[in-house]
DNA sequence: TCGACGATCATCT
DNA sequence: GATGATCGTCGAG
């Protein structure tokens, strides 16, 4: 087997652990990866790739946008006042949060912006991880076009913030409830280039002043010092 | 049915 | 740092 062939094996192949090759960045994450509490999943999503494929027009060749996740927030379902699913709230909107881990939860905020979350844990846990910021890996020109950015913009202008990120990647509510761990599909999450624990900073979540005891929970995670963060994290 | 508000962002001062 | 944009969502009545 050539090294190139080895590289495209999925992360959890049938090979024994001792001889398992490093997973390719574009390999899908297994569904079990998402089936754990959001505060455990959120830091582990840092460095992973979010991949959006699309065709500029019908019949055109598929194009690909790749974003490396650098900032996430965990939302802990029924016990978390900042969560849409606090106290087990079930509405048409939050129904998606009760799916098993690995699905996308996309909703509109402030009437203008869409936010992408990944559902975490088992069915009915209603845990979710908000994807807050990312760094371009592939398709930066197209992302900049979608964002209407000037050449002098800062790195964090592209996808630093949940609304900016979805706009740069062309993600909207049509992607709600989509499974992200499939090998194919218009929106996927893959192995990417994970970070080590010492590269991760944590702090309180953004924009949840109303959440009482949950306001200060350190459930925001980011890659330490990354210029693509939506705003600085405690060092 | 109505009204308040939000896991945001761009623009202005 | 303050403010306006803009509309879906959800609780109140």
A214 has a pLDDT exceeding 90: yes
Compare A65 and A152 and report the one with higher pLDDT.
Answer: A65
Q: How far is the CA of A210 from the C1' of C13 (A)?
A: 24
How many helices (DSSP H) and strands (DSSP E) are in chain A? 5, 8
Per residue in A119-173, pLDDT tens?
Answer: 999 999 999 999 999 999 999 999 999 999 988 899 999 999 999 999 999 999 9
A132 nearest nucleotide via C1' and CA: B7
Residue nearest to nucleotide C7 (CA to C1'): A111
Per residue in A2-58, pLDDT tens?
Answer: 333 333 333 443 444 557 777 899 999 999 999 999 999 999 999 999 999 999 999
Helix or strand (DSSP H, E) at A75: strand A62-75
pLDDT of residue A139: 96
DSSP A93-147: TGGGGGSPTTBEEEEEETTTEEEEEEEESSTT--EEEEEEEEEEEE-HHHHHHHH
Contact, A156 vs A230, CB < 8 A? yes
pTM above threshold 0.85: yes
pLDDT of residue A2: 33
DSSP A166-183: HHHHT--GGGTT-BSSSS
Q: How far is the CA of A109 from the C1' of C5 (A)?
A: 12
CA A13 – CA A11 distance, rounded (Å)? 6
Looking at chain A, the whole-number percentage of residues with pLDDT higher than 70 is 92
Q: 3-state DSSP call for residue A152?
A: coil
Residues 27-86 of A with CB under 7 A from strand C: 84
N-term to C-term CA, chain A: 44
| Range A59-68 average pLDDT | 97
CA A108 – CA A92 distance, rounded (Å)? 13
Mean pLDDT of chain A: 91
CA A203 – CA A71 distance, rounded (Å)? 11
Query: What six digits make up the tokens of A88?
Result: 């087990």
- Out of A14-28, A101-115, A218-232, least confident range: A14-28
Q: 3-state DSSP call for residue A71?
A: strand
CA A131 – CA A206 distance, rounded (Å)? 12
Helix or strand (DSSP H, E) at A3: helix A3-7
């Amino acid at each position: 087997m050539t090294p190139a062939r080895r590289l495209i094996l999925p992360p959890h192949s049938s090979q024994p652990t001792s001889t398992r090759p490093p997973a390719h960045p574009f390999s899908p994450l297994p569904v079990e990866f998402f089936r754990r509490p959001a505060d455990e999943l959120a830091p582990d999503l840092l460095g992973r790739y979010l991949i959006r494929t699309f065709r500029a027009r019908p019949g055109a060749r598929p194009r690909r946008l790749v974003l490396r996740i650098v900032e996430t927030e965990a939302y802990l379902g029924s016990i978390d006042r900042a969560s849409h699913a606090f106290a087990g709230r079930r509405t048409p909107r939050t129904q998606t949060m009760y799916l098993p881990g690995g699905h996308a939860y996309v909703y509109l905020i402030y009437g203008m912006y869409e936010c992408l979350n990944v559902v975490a844990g088992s069915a009915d846990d209603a845990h979710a991880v908000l994807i807050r910021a990312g760094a371009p890996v592939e398709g930066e020109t197209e992302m900049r076009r979608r964002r209407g950015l000037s050449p002098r913009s800062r790195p964090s202008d592209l996808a630093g913030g949940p609304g900016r990120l979805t706009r740069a990647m062309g993600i909207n509510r049509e992607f709600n409830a989509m499974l992200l761990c499939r090998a194919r599909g218009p929106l996927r999450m893959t192995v990417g280039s994970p970070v080590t624990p010492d590269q991760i900073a944590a702090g309180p979540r953004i924009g949840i002043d109303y959440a009482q005891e949950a306001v200060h929970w350190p459930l925001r995670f980011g890659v330490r010092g990354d210029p693509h963060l939506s705003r600085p994290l405690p060092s």
